[in-house]
Amino acid sequence: MTRFRLVLAAAALLLAGCSTSETPAPAADGAVGGEITVFAAASLKATFTELGERFEAAYPGTTVALTFAGSSDLLTQLSQGAPGDVFASADTATMTRAVDAGLVSGEPTPFATNTLTIVTPPDNPRGIASFADLADPGAKVVVCAPQVPCGAATAAIEAATGVDLTPVSEESAVTDVLGKVTAGEADAGLVYVTDAAGAGERVATVPFAESGEAVNTYPVAVLSESRNATAAQAFEEFVLGPEGREVLDAAGFAAP
C-alpha cells in the first residue's frame, strides 16, 4: 500500500511540473513575473524586440512574447479574441477603435511620434528627389494600404499637397513596403523614417518637407482581457520610462 501511495504522489508531482512548464503563471502577491503577450505595430519591431529583452533582464522570471503586424491587422486579431496583454499602435485612430470596442483597460498613453520619408534602391534609378516625383508616369511606387496608419499618413500628405499617387502596390504593413524596395521590386516607397534608418545602406533616403503634414503618434495600453495585468502594466511603464525613451530615440522616434 505504501509503495502505491508513493507512486501516486510522484505521478501527481510530475503532472504538476508539466503543467507549470507549459503555461507560465503570473507571479503571486503583485510581483512582476510570468508571461505577457505584446501586440505592436510593425514599425516597432526592432525597438520592442530590444525593449522586450531589456524588460526580461530587469524582471527575472518574465517572458515577453511579441506579435508584430500592421496596426489595423492587430486590432482585427484582438477583436476576434486573440489573447494579449499590451497593445501598441502606430496611430491614435486605431487605438481609439480599440478603446471603443472595450479592448483596452485604462487610458492609452502616447510614447512616440514618427513621420514618413521616401526610400529608393541605393542607386535611386528613377532619380526621385521629391514627393511630387512619386507621381511621375512609369514610376513604380509602393505605399501602405489606406486602413494602415502609414497609409492614412500617405493619404493626408496627398491631400495637403494635391499630389495624387498611383501606387503599383498597397501593403498591409510598412515593413512590407520596405521589403518591396529592398528587393528591387519598386522604384520608391513611403515608409517611416525609423524604418529607413533601420534599413541602412540597403536603401537611399529622400526626405521631403511635406512629411510634416502627417505626424503619427504611437499610444500604448494594457488590454482589458490581460491574463497578467501586473506584468503588462510594468511593461507599459517600461516603454514610457527612461529605458524606453533611450531605445526609441536611438531608432529615430521622436517624443510625443
N-to-C CA span, the chain:
69
pLDDT at 165: 97
Q: 162: which DSSP letter?
A: T
Residues 6+ apart with CB under 8 A from 14: none
pLDDT at 233: 98
The answer to whether residues 42 and 83 belong to one domain is yes
104: β partners: 223
Q: Is residue 256 part of a domain?
A: no
Cα of 90 vs its chain's centroid, Å: 7
Closest listed residue to residue 102, CA positions, set 79, 134, 135 = 79
The answer to whether residues 100 and 135 belong to one domain is no
The answer to whether residues 153 and 208 belong to one domain is yes
Instruction: Give exposure, 215-227, as e/b (b: 16+ Cβ within 10 Å).
Output: ebbbbbbbbebbb
Instruction: Give the tens place of pLDDT for each residue, 190-225.
Output: 999 999 999 999 999 999 999 999 999 999 999 999
The answer to whether residues 72 and 191 belong to one domain is no
CA-based max dimension of the chain: 88
CB-based contact 143:167 (threshold 8 Å): yes
Residue 228 belongs to what domain range? Answer: 28-113+218-251
pLDDT at 168: 97
The answer to whether residues 131 and 188 belong to one domain is yes
Domain count of the fold of the chain: 2
Neighbours of 62 (CB within 10 A): 23
pLDDT at 29: 52
The answer to whether residues 129 and 204 belong to one domain is yes
The answer to whether residues 133 and 188 belong to one domain is yes
In the chain, which stretches have pLDDT less than 70?
A: 1-30
63: β partners: 35
Q: Is residue 11 within a helix (H) or strand (E), and if so which, with residue range?
A: helix 2-22
The answer to whether residues 223 and 200 belong to one domain is no
pLDDT at 114: 98
Q: Is residue 21 part of a domain?
A: no
The answer to whether residues 160 and 71 belong to one domain is no
pLDDT at 19: 36
Q: Is residue 126 part of a domain?
A: yes
pTM of the model: 0.85
